Amino acid sequence: MSATATDPVVELRGATRSYPGGVHALRGVDLTVERGELVAIVGPSGSGKSTLLNVIGTLDKPTSGTVRVAGYDVSALSDAQFSALRARHIGFVFQHFHLAAGRDAVDNVADGLLYAGVPLKERRARARVALERVRLGHRLDHRPNELSGGEKQRVAIARAVVGDPALLLADEPTGALDTAAGEIVMALIHELNAAGTTICVITHDTEIAESLPRRVRFRDGEIVSDSRAGAKVCPRPGPRPRTEGVGS
């Protein structure tokens, strides 16, 4: 199918993800995230929410069901198209930053455009703009060991949004930060969303979840509640699946 501006950014229908040994990390998940939403996907460790992140982020494929991201049915894409979808339409922010130690902030952010076919000079120019956007214009030539934890996470956010993706996935974005730095990062996430970025924040922190306009609660591989007006949640009958060891 072709993507259009009116397509949801994320659409899952009956999505499952199973692993050998009878472990079911996702169990018939139905989820729609519209453009411009700011959503918390919240649940305890082992609930399957990190598996959900991997499936939405096209890092993993569902065992069954339909997954569409930015209007594209991921099951219908070739490997090259699959990689292009991830590079052009999805930005990732992780708990532990994943910055290259020997590279300054500009080059770390510019790396976010490596697979988008953007020339080096333009990558660096766009990286500077992205760093200004997260209020790190005074740290352009600083390497990770010269930055605080909060500044490292802001570099990671700049790298995630430098390509103007349709979707930003933030996995425990404040998990490695102190309270003050975490508040700055969450304020930045709200600012990015207000400017039009669709964002899913994966978290076990109920306080962070409550600060976001929509909360999707996850347990045992299923959505158990969704604060979105009109959302219907129909837990499937049967014994609870095993999710231990699959991820949070």
pLDDT in tens, 43-62: 998 899 989 999 999 988 89
DSSP label at residue 143: -
Q: Is residue 233 a part of any domain in this protein?
A: no
Q: Is residue 183 a part of any domain in this protein?
A: yes
Q: Is residue 215 a part of any domain in this protein?
A: yes
CATH number for the domain harbouring residue 118:
3.40.50.300
pLDDT tens by residue, 94-118: 989 999 999 999 999 999 998 888 9
pLDDT at 234 over 60: no
- Do the Cβ atoms of 130 and 111 come closer than 8 Å? no
Q: Is residue 64 a part of any domain in this protein?
A: yes
How many CA atoms lie within 13 Å of 116's alpha carbon, on the beta-carbon side?
24
Looking at residue 172, its pLDDT comes to 94
Q: At what angle do helices 179-194 and 149-161 cross, to 10 degrees?
A: 20
Note the pTM of the prediction, 2 decimals: 0.88
Domain count, the chain: 1
Q: Is residue 61 a part of any domain in this protein?
A: yes
Q: Which residues pair with 17 in a beta bridge?
A: 26
pLDDT at 242 over 90: no
> Beta strand 214-219 with 38-42: parallel, antiparallel or unpaired?
parallel
- Do the Cβ atoms of 199 and 42 come closer than 8 Å? no
Mean pLDDT, the chain, rounded, equals: 89
Q: Is residue 202 a part of any domain in this protein?
A: yes
How many Å apart are CA 5 and CA 93, to the nearest integer? 24
Average pLDDT estimate for 184-198: 95
How far, rounded to the nearest angstrom, does the alpha carbon of residue 151 sit from its chain's CA centroid?
19
Beta-carbon contacts of 46 under 8 Å, excluding residues fewer than 6 positions away, are: 243, 244, 245, 246, 247, 248
Q: Report the greatest alpha carbon distance in the chain.
A: 56
How far, rounded to the nearest angstrom, does the alpha carbon of residue 101 sit from its chain's CA centroid?
23
Higher pLDDT, 69 or 231: 69
Q: Is residue 1 a part of any domain in this protein?
A: no
Q: Is residue 205 a part of any domain in this protein?
A: yes
Domain carrying residue 127: 10-226
